[in-house]
Chain A
Amino acid sequence: MMRIIPVPRQTQRRTGTLFHYYLTYLFLTSVLLTTTGLCLHTVLKADRLDNQASAHLKTLLRLEGSLRTDATAAVDMETTATELKFYLPEADSTVRWVALNNVLTRENNTADTLTNSDRFVFHKGTSLEFSSKDETAVRLILTEPPRMRHPEDSSPAGENTSHSVEFLLFVRPAVVPVTSEPSARANESDTGTLRAAEYERTN
């Protein structure tokens, strides 16, 4: 027969970490993880912006190289606000630059047949415009989209914060071939649409 002996109650000290220690660990861990996440985000964002800026600058350089090569080889040109056409007598071709929103397209045409084309794509919101003062000089104005104004920016509120890049190009002037009839030359000059192949090179 078993006897049940009552165990006297005794005060036991509970072992382990106190609750507020757990809270401290939890707080420090969360701060550490949050900081790590913010750092990672900053690094990745900086990398992405760096890649974007690098691509933009490469496109600018590529565009400048193509434009100046065409302008050097060209004799005579036609231009509007969105289109520029070079006449290349040596290659017997025409190069047409078309600006549409933020994309600039270069089309090389030989005998009215498109032989190749190239595209230069810029940031969304970029505007491209050709501007010509005379027959031999043309300016491509690339206006970047407006940047967000910093609250501490001291410039006036109405001031445009967008920047631009300009490419200044000069083309050799076309020379009308000497003809026997002055009246015919005058008519040709009036039309202004003579192809460069019909011109003599200036030098």
Chain B
Amino acid sequence: MVEMVVAAVMLSTVAAILVPGIYAVHQQRQATRFDTLSLIELNNLSAVSRNMGVADRNTLKLSEWFTERYDDAKLDVQEVTADTVEPPLQAFKFTIIRPAGDDRPDFRHSLVAWVATQGVPE
């Protein structure tokens, strides 16, 4: 009986340490993957907005390949007002937001792009 108790305690200790550790590694890997893929998507959006010459929050939307992976992700486009930005350049901040769940803060990844609003984009 004593041996059974000792073995159960040891197994419980190992499981209590190992399972959260493996889960944390998995979560970290998911976060890194989202970080990388959202950066690619943000660069795509930046290229599209530069090509269009404007960053319209109504016309810009997340790509299909990205929403297939992360269907709960949302895009936020904001116009950045800064003294250093002069016409015809206009700065826009693209942010991809994805809820993390479990009362944790949302995943947010942002990219500021300078868009030429007049003439041929740089």
Contact = CB atoms under 8 A, between A and B. Distances in A.
A163 B65 contact: yes
A170 interface: yes
B47 A169 contact: yes
Query: Is the interface on chain B under 10, 10 to 19, 20 to 34, or 35 or more residues?
Result: 20 to 34
Which label, helix, strand, loop or mixed, suits the secondary structure of the B interface?
Answer: helix
A19 to B, nearest CB: 15
Which label, helix, strand, loop or mixed, suits the secondary structure of the A interface?
Answer: helix
A42 B36 contact: no
A28 B47 CA distance: 62
B11 A165 contact: no
Interface in A72-107: none
Interface residues of A, number: 34
A46 B26 contact: yes
Nearest to A36: B14
Interface of A: 24-25, 28, 31-32, 35-36, 39, 42-43, 46, 49-50, 53-54, 57, 60-61, 64, 68, 136-137, 141, 163-170, 172, 202-203
B10 interface: yes
Contact of B36 (A60, A163, A203): A60
B57 interface: no
Contacts of B22: 42-43, 46
Given A32-B10, A46-B22, A168 B122 contact: no
B25 A50 contact: yes
Given A36-B14, A61-B39, A166-B65, 10 more contacts: A28-B3, A32-B7, A42-B18, A43-B18, A43-B22, A61-B36, A64-B43, A68-B47, A165-B65, A168-B48
Contacts of A42: 18, 22
24 contacts: A24-B4, A25-B3, A28-B7, A32-B7, A32-B10, A42-B18, A42-B22, A50-B25, A50-B29, A53-B29, A54-B32, A57-B32, A60-B40, A61-B36, A61-B39, A136-B51, A163-B65, A163-B68, A164-B65, A165-B37, A165-B40, A166-B65, A167-B40, A168-B47
A92 B104 CA distance: 52
A190 B112 CA distance: 40
B63 interface: yes
B7 A31 contact: yes
